Amino acid sequence: MEKKEGDPVSSLGENVFVFSPDMDMMEVQQLIDSIFEVQTKPESEFNENRFAFLFEPGQYSLDVKVGYYTQVLGLGQSPDDVVINGAVRAVSPPSHNGSVLINFWRSAENLSINPTVDSTNVWAVSQAAPMRRVHVRGNLRLHDYGAASGGFLADSKIDGVVDFGPQQQWFSRNSEWQSCTGGLWNIVSQGVLDAPKEDWPNRPYLSLDYTPLIREKPFWTQDALGELSLEIPTLKEKTNGVSWEDGYDPNSRKIALSDFYIAQPQHDNAESINSALNQGKNILFTPGIYWLENSIEVTQPGAVLIGMGLPSIIPESSKPVIKIADVADVTLSSILVDAGLVQTEQLIEIGEPGADSDHSEHPTSIYDVFVRVGGYHAGTSQNCVTINSNNVVVDHIWLWRADHGNGAGWDTNKAANGLTVNGDDVTIYGLFNEHYQEYQTIWNGENGRVYFYQCEMPYYVPSPDVWQNDGKNGFASYKVSEDVATHDVWGMGIYNVFFNSPAIVDWAIEAPEQLEQRFRHVTTIWLGGNEGSEVKSIINGKGDAVNKTNRKAIW
């Protein structure tokens, strides 16, 4: 496992481990166990360690336990090229009694698992823990017999049963399983073969036949010479099932590792990264923490910015971390952004204000981007992500104003909004957005589509009097501007836990009246908190209230 100077793997940093089938599996297991032991401790939830495990094609007998900030990647052309006999699993920390409510920031991608314990692989997670392009040759359990608030599954095949158990919500896209069971409130399946039949509102399932537009997430492969490349799948319309079962896609785009600028947190900054972008390079962020005084500015169409090992990017000024010009076909993937100690207007900006180009043939794609305000430190930002460009496709995003951790408090980690969409024809698959102090989501663009929405309103509203908006109590979770003519949402779970006061929200959703019926399968839940708190209606004053007496409402 020793990295040799000159080996391409060496350039990926000391926290990227590449495993091959001919290695001593006992040594590999010891390494994985030692990292997991550190990354599963309570204090590791906000530590600075970042790791990536890369598996070359072949067979392995391993129990791959996945803790915080750990990304597990197979390097095959197909998920079946890398077979883990054993497990690739996330479980409840020992002190949590089965709860996985804070099992965040980890992933497993592009491999197959042959589970050797009860033919079941356990991936017990909540937000920001995607499983993609995975073949489970058995069952998949998405909980550890305690509370769970997940999650995201895409482009994956489960030969057996998917057990959602007590998962409050889950979004599955373009996958296949034999059957499924469990789930509490908002279980959305899109383009999933053998998805559960709907019986709303008696059961929590929403099943959509196909995905209208998607370019699956890029994945790393290794050729016979040991060279790494990133495969960029093609954009497809009206798809269901997995993308890889029919073999290699000849229309996919391959980018050699040599076409990437390999950023290292020890010495790279916005200037060096922008210089590489201007020379036509793509950017690979290796594991670590990147502190930036200036913005990364993406101006080249087709540019790829991708993280390995869940790298964190943090601003040291009031400038956005990433600014993407109004250009086509940009890819932003697998990064974690923390708000800085100096307030920014937004952390990620896609397209300049007023952007109006048509990118329908080559949309910008966002995958597994996670943004935090607080938790790591007392960060602050007015808004986290602003999408000004048209035709952007977002495939899994979690925008989180911290409700616990470092700097978590009403007057500490201040942030008004998680997401503002000004562009037209923007599509989001899996929008997790929560705890912001005003509207969580503001949508100003036309023809927006959201498939699955999960939100908890802010926990620590100090009093009803300080949480007012234009004559209304509180702020709706989801706001569509009055001049928007077309907007569609499928599968919403909006929850509230008002600990500090009897906070009142008049509407969970605020939208033009003519759009009310275009919000489908909406659930609001009073999870707990101050007994006088209440969400008075689901949308525009319509729909039942939720409070201590009536804890759940359906639209």
d(CA 270, CA 504): 43
Among the listed residues 503, 498, 505, 499, the one whose alpha carbon sits nearest the alpha carbon of residue 473: 505
Within 8 A by CB and 6+ apart from 296, the residues are 270, 273, 274, 277, 283, 305, 313, 321, 322, 323
User: How far apart are alpha carbons 9 and 543 in whole angstroms?
Assistant: 56
Give the side-chain half-sphere CA count within 13 A for 495. Answer: 21
Which tokens hold the place of 414? 């201040």
Those residues with Cβ within 8 angstroms of residue 431's Cβ, 6 or more apart along the chain or in another chain: 394, 397, 419, 441, 450, 452, 453, 454
Judged on CB neighbours under 10 Å (0-12, 13-18, 19+), 469 is: middle
Residue 483 burial (C-beta neighbours within 10 Å; 0-12, 13-18, 19+):
exposed
> Of 477, 511, 485, 515, which Cα lies nearest the Cα of 424?
485
Q: What residue type is 200 in one-letter code?
A: W
Q: Position 315: which residue type? A: P
d(CA 370, CA 107): 12
DSSP letters spanning 378-399: ---EEEEEEE-SSS-EEEEEEE
Catalytic residue among 438, 456, 510, 534, which? 456
First-to-last C-alpha distance (Å) of the chain:
55
The question of whether 5 is a catalytic residue gets the answer: no
3-state secondary structure of 305: strand
Give the span between the Cα atoms of 187 and 298, in whole angstroms. Answer: 36
Integer Cα distance of 299 and 351 in angstroms: 10
Q: How far is CA 154 from CA 216, 309, 360, 544, in A?
A: 9, 19, 23, 33
Of 420, 433, 418, 352, nearest in space to 381 by CA: 418
Closest to 555 (Cα-Cα) out of 524, 531, 511, 530 = 524
Active site (catalytic) residues:
456
